[in-house]
């Protein structure tokens, strides 16, 4: 395997609305859809669609959503040998509200994702040892994230940690063991307690983390592109201009594509440029995984952008 994703899967419950209701108010929304999501699954699917060989270590619930989640991963080319069921537990779900400006607001109920434990990583150890890169997020227990980081270090496997959703008590010492730490600007603000309104503020917040020992910090900035900071070096990638329809899952698209390109070439700026364009392509369609292009579709997108 090229890449292992140890992380979450969710069922996305997406409401498209022109206006969010006030307390006690009922409004009619124009559209709704159900999709497969979760930060871990999204990143796995994005990498697989781009051509990477991807396996996933994850937990599904003991409910009607689970078979569809596993089948979807398999259809997208993700190895699901280590996607197992948590008895008596619901699958993770994510109610998502997308407004008429294409901005999203998301709630998550972790469900079975809370049951992904270090023992599940141990059970997948032999397969994981063959991987070049492990991707982690924070929709699973922190103890499992830390165990995975230690496992990767023991076996000389590169690690991307996406601190999402951000938690203020994340152990930065573990983040510093990772090869890449990849928050968005909101997560950076939560982790540092510093403002991130301007690019200069983002850089100052990033520097505060680098001073604590991070190796490579890549910050995704939505419509402002992305930023790579390492030591005293700063590299910014401009966004690809598109008309956004739905920004849900764009950060995961970025990470999945970046991981694929990093494994393929090892060229960080080039991987960021490709990932930025891939994320831009994803926001031109609705949903999360369903909006991610395969390699051929992405190439057509690049040809006109």
**220 three-class SS:** strand
Instruction: Decide the pairing of beta strands 158-161 and 217-220.
Output: unpaired
E strand segments, the chain = 3-6, 10-16, 31-37, 54-60, 78-85, 93-98, 104-106, 133-136, 158-161, 180-181, 217-220, 226-230, 233-237
Q: What is the pLDDT of residues 78-91, one digit of tens each?
A: 999 999 999 999 99
Alpha carbon 289 to its chain centroid, in Å, reads 11
Has 72 been labeled as part of a binding site?
no
Q: What is the pLDDT of residues 57-116, one digit of tens each?
A: 999 999 999 999 999 999 999 999 999 999 999 999 989 898 888 888 888 899 999 999
- State the angle between helix axes of 268-282 and 295-304 in degrees (0 to 180), rounded to the nearest 10: 90
Q: What is the pLDDT of residues 28-46, one digit of tens each?
A: 999 998 889 999 999 999 9
User: Distance between CA atoms of 261 and 196, rounded to whole angstroms?
Assistant: 28
Has 92 been labeled as part of a binding site?
no
The DSSP call for residue 58 is E
pTM score, whole prediction: 0.93
**CA neighbor of 16 nearest in space, from 2, 27, 4:** 27
Has 223 been labeled as part of a binding site?
yes
- Choosing from 232, 252, 267, 294, the catalytic residue is 252
Confidence band for 52, pLDDT divided at 50, 70 and 90: very high
Query: What tokens does 158 get?
Result: 């590169």
Has 222 been labeled as part of a binding site?
yes
Has 33 been labeled as part of a binding site?
no
120 is catalytic: no
């Amino acid at each position: 395997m090229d890449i292992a994703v140890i992380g979450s899967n969710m069922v996305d419950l997406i409401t498209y609305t022109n206006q969010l209701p006030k307390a006690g108010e009922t409004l009619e929304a124009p559209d709704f859809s159900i999709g497969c999501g979760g930060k871990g699954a999204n990143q796995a699917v994005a990498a697989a669609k781009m051509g990477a060989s991807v396996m996933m270590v994850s937990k599904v619930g003991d409910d009607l959503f689970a078979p569809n989640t596993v089948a979807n991963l398999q259809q997208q080319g993700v190895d699901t040998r280590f996607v197992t069921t948590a008895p008596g537990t619901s699958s993770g779900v994510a109610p998502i509200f997308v407004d008429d400006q294409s901005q999203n607001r998301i709630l998550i109920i972790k469900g079975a994702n809370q049951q992904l434990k270090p023992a599940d990583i141990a059970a997948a150890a032999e397969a994981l040892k063959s991987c070049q890169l492990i991707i982690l997020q924070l929709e699973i227990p922190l103890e499992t994230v830390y165990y995975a980081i230690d496992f990767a270090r023991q076996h000389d496997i590169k690690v991307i940690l996406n601190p999402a959703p951000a938690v203020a008590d994340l152990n930065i010492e573990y983040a510093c063991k990772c090869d890449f730490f990849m928050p968005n600007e909101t997560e950076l603000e939560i982790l540092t307690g510093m403002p991130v309104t301007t690019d200069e503020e983002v850089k100052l917040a990033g520097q505060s983390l680098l001073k604590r020992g991070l190796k490579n910090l890549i910050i995704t900035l939505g419509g402002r592109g992305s930023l790579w900071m390492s030591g005293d070096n700063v590299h910014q990638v401009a966004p690809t201009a598109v008309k956004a329809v739905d920004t849900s899952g764009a950060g995961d698209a970025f990470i999945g594509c970046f991981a694929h390109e990093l494994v393929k070439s090892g060229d960080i700026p080039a991987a960021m440029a490709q990932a930025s364009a891939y994320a831009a392509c994803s926001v031109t369609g609705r949903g999360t995984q369903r909006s991610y292009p395969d390699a051929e579709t992405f190439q057509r997108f690049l040809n006109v952008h």
